[in-house]
Amino acid sequence: MTTAQSEAGAAAARTVTDSLVASLTRGVVGSGKTACHCPFTGERLAELPEATEDEVAAAFDLARAAQPGWAARPARERAGIALRFHDLLLRRQTEVLDLIQLETGKSRLSAHEEVQSVAMAARYYGRTAPGLLRPRRHLGAIPLLTQVREARRPHGVVGQISPWNYPLELSAGDVLPALLAGNAVVHKPDTETALTALWARRLLIECGLPAEVWTVVLGAGPVVGPLVVEHADYVTFTGSTRTGRTVAQRAAARLVGSSLELGGKNALLVLRDADLDRAAEGAVRACFSSAGQLCVSIERLLVDASVADAFLARFLARVEALRIGPELDYGVDVGSLSSAAQLATVVQHVEDARARGATVLAGGRPRPDLGPYFHEPTVLTDVAPPMRVCAEETFGPVVSVRRFATEDEAVTLANDTRFGLNASVWSRDARRARRIAARLRCGTVNINEGYAAAYGSVRAPMGGMGDSGLGRRHGAEGLLKFTEPQTVARQRLLPLAPSHGLDDRRYTALISRSLRAMKSLGLR
């Protein structure tokens, strides 16, 4: 073990104490045993309760019993809890930054991204949820005679399934809008990062959340995940496209709605008029934040051939300068991969590309000297199908570079994927970049940024097209998907049918005249 690893191990022992684990798992149902591990060392971090089939059902019963009382509270009161959470999260961020790093192996700066985006989501939904959920009046079928209100009703109990890569963002960030909409949530985080999710839950409880409205169940994904889908009134899933497809099928079979935030194979386009220094800097962040284990991170660089050499010189110099390691502090750029399985996929993709003729421009090797799952930030070129790096999501610190000659070719290459999550366009000409953005088939496009501008703009929706998912988080949609619209129409004075001695013929003539008049008056 290196000194840095030993220090990480000691920090893990200091941070994840028995009393912390006991406090975080209070109220978590599970008579079985499971565990989470620290990627910096590969050692066990904590033993955790694993839920049986009956215990998952009991968690839903508990949530279902608590939900009506929670939904009956004024929306403003629910939102107030989110705003308190915002303040407490920022004040106590050190606690959760340590947990995120110890559970995921990412660098502290990447961990802080989670604090930032959850704080932004808490503020946004805390401020806007009461207004977004307020009943809306509409013009009725016959103005004045028909009065209509559209209300938003919570689904009931939302089943939430989340992965390990952004354990604070994908637990608290997604639970908050579901709760603010009046639902209870039964949440299955990935066991390997459950402590972070449980920490966020405990903080929300400190802020006033009734414990039963956010219940956590832990266990193997293929066992506990389907049970969550089986009981939920709505399912929100973040994870791989493969699992997302089965989740959607199970939910559809029950006629239960679902939103799916899935994988990506995101492209970054460097146009010939880009500021190459800024583009190189931004590309490094976009490719290697969280060691590339970020759904919106960039795995394909498409560079205008006329500036490719100049761009690559700048990009590679910055990649070579990246600091890698297991430090539990700022100052390191790239942390560890999260597990042996992640490292295996990365190694397979790099070796497959190398064997089929790709050239390694930087990195290309695991770094067991730093920790069991470290891998160098890796840049490949001369890539072409059927190399796995061309079509499959690597979800690691690996990016491939291709050159293009025309704008049309750049768009064709960028869209040549079944995924459609994120893209990035670098150009000094905002109109040109927007024109290209409109031709890209993906849910978010960042101009002169890799991913954070769109992801961090929580007032606007974020999500994927194609194999990258269904539905959106963030924005009004990110809250309203957790509700069912209900239309309540009250008819006054006259029925919507012949009455007061009008026969069918005179009634339909009157209605036809009224419809023409309503259009002439500009009514919608």
Q: Which stretch binds ligand NAD (CB under 6 A): 233-241, 300-308, 356-364, 490-498?
A: 233-241
Q: How many Cα atoms sit within 13 Å of 32 on the Cβ side?
A: 16
DSSP 8-state secondary structure symbol assigned to residue 128: H
- The answer to whether the CB of 125 falls within 8 A of the CB of 173 is no
Taking the C-alpha atoms of residue 238 and residue 433, their distance in angstroms, rounded to an integer, is 29
Among 41, 196, 236, 243, binds ligand NAD (CB under 6 A): 243
DSSP 8-state secondary structure symbol assigned to residue 25: T
Among 52, 146, 240, 491, binds ligand NAD (CB under 6 A): 240
| Four-residue CA torsion sign, 89, 90, 95, 98 | positive
Check residue 335 for interaction with ligand NAD (CB under 6 A). no
Residues in the chain: 524
DSSP 8-state secondary structure symbol assigned to residue 332: -
Shortest distance (Å) from residue 325 CB to ligand NAD = 23
Among 82, 180, 232, 247, binds ligand NAD (CB under 6 A): 247
Among 15, 52, 147, 246, binds ligand NAD (CB under 6 A): 246
Amino acid making up residue 26: R
Check residue 172 for interaction with ligand NAD (CB under 6 A). no
Check residue 164 for interaction with ligand NAD (CB under 6 A). yes
The torsion angles phi and psi of 287, rounded to 5 degrees, stand at -90, -35
Check residue 325 for interaction with ligand NAD (CB under 6 A). no
Find the angle CA(260)-CA(262)-CA(264) to the nearest 5 degrees: 150
Of 455, 472, 465, the closest CA to residue 420 belongs to: 465
Check residue 475 for interaction with ligand NAD (CB under 6 A). no
Binding map of ligand NAD across residues 178-207, x = CB under 6 A, - = no contact: ----------x-x-----------------
Strand partners, 381: 359, 401
Binding map of ligand NAD across residues 103-142, x = CB under 6 A, - = no contact: ----------------------------------------
Check residue 263 for interaction with ligand NAD (CB under 6 A). yes
- The answer to whether the CB of 345 falls within 8 A of the CB of 351 is no
Shortest distance (Å) from residue 436 CB to ligand NAD = 22
Among 66, 207, 421, 436, binds ligand NAD (CB under 6 A): 421
Find the angle CA(53)-CA(56)-CA(61) to the nearest 5 degrees: 125
State which residue, 226 or 466, has the beta carbon closest to ligand NAD. Answer: 226
Q: Please count the helices (runs of H) and the strands (runs of E) in the chain.
A: 19, 20
DSSP characters over 355-370: HTT-EEEE--SB-TTT
The torsion angles phi and psi of 43, rounded to 5 degrees, stand at -85, 160
SS (HEC) of 61-124: HHHHHHHHHHHHCCHHHHHHHHHHHHHHHHHCHHHHHHHHHHHHCCCHHHHHHHHHHHHHHHHH
What residue number has its CB nearest to ligand NAD?
225
State which residue, 182 or 461, has the beta carbon closest to ligand NAD. Answer: 461
Of 101, 66, 70, 86, the closest CA to residue 206 belongs to: 86
Q: Which stretch binds ligand NAD (CB under 6 A): 43-51, 108-116, 157-165, 444-452?
A: 157-165
State which residue, 307 or 452, has the beta carbon closest to ligand NAD. Answer: 452
Shortest distance (Å) from residue 71 CB to ligand NAD = 26
Shortest distance (Å) from residue 188 CB to ligand NAD = 6
Residues from 349 through 408 that contact ligand NAD (CB under 6 A): 393, 395
Taking the C-alpha atoms of residue 198 and residue 96, their distance in angstroms, rounded to an integer, is 10
Shortest distance (Å) from residue 432 CB to ligand NAD = 28
For the beta carbon of residue 52, count every other beta carbon within 10 angstroms. 17
State which residue, 5 or 446, has the beta carbon closest to ligand NAD. Answer: 446
Taking the C-alpha atoms of residue 440 and residue 296, their distance in angstroms, rounded to an integer, is 15
Q: Which stretch binds ligand NAD (CB under 6 A): 162-170, 266-274, 365-373, 502-510?
A: 162-170
Find the angle CA(465)-CA(466)-CA(470) to the nearest 5 degrees: 60
State which residue, 38 or 295, has the beta carbon closest to ligand NAD. Answer: 295
Per DSSP, which regions of 223-358 are E strands? 234-238, 257-261, 266-270, 298-304
**Active site residue ranges:** 261
Check residue 162 for interaction with ligand NAD (CB under 6 A). yes
State which residue, 66 or 260, has the beta carbon closest to ligand NAD. Answer: 260
State which residue, 107 or 444, has the beta carbon closest to ligand NAD. Answer: 444
Check residue 422 for interaction with ligand NAD (CB under 6 A). no
Of 390, 397, 419, 388, the closest CA to residue 302 belongs to: 390
Peptide bond into 495 cis (omega under 30): no
Q: Which stretch binds ligand NAD (CB under 6 A): 107-115, 232-240, 266-274, 377-385?
A: 232-240
Check residue 225 for interaction with ligand NAD (CB under 6 A). yes
The torsion angles phi and psi of 258, rounded to 5 degrees, stand at -150, 150
Residues from 205 through 224 that contact ligand NAD (CB under 6 A): 221-222
Taking the C-alpha atoms of residue 272 and residue 285, their distance in angstroms, rounded to an integer, is 20
How big is the site for ligand NAD, counted in residues (CB under 6 A)? 29
Strand partners, 248: none
Shortest distance (Å) from residue 53 CB to ligand NAD = 14
Check residue 165 for interaction with ligand NAD (CB under 6 A). yes
Check residue 163 for interaction with ligand NAD (CB under 6 A). yes
State which residue, 188 or 201, has the beta carbon closest to ligand NAD. Answer: 188
Check residue 464 for interaction with ligand NAD (CB under 6 A). yes
Taking the C-alpha atoms of residue 241 and residue 137, their distance in angstroms, rounded to an integer, is 39
Check residue 455 for interaction with ligand NAD (CB under 6 A). no
Positions touching ligand NAD (CB under 6 A) are 161-166, 170, 188, 190, 221-222, 225-226, 238-240, 243, 246-247, 261-264, 295, 393, 395, 421, 464, 469
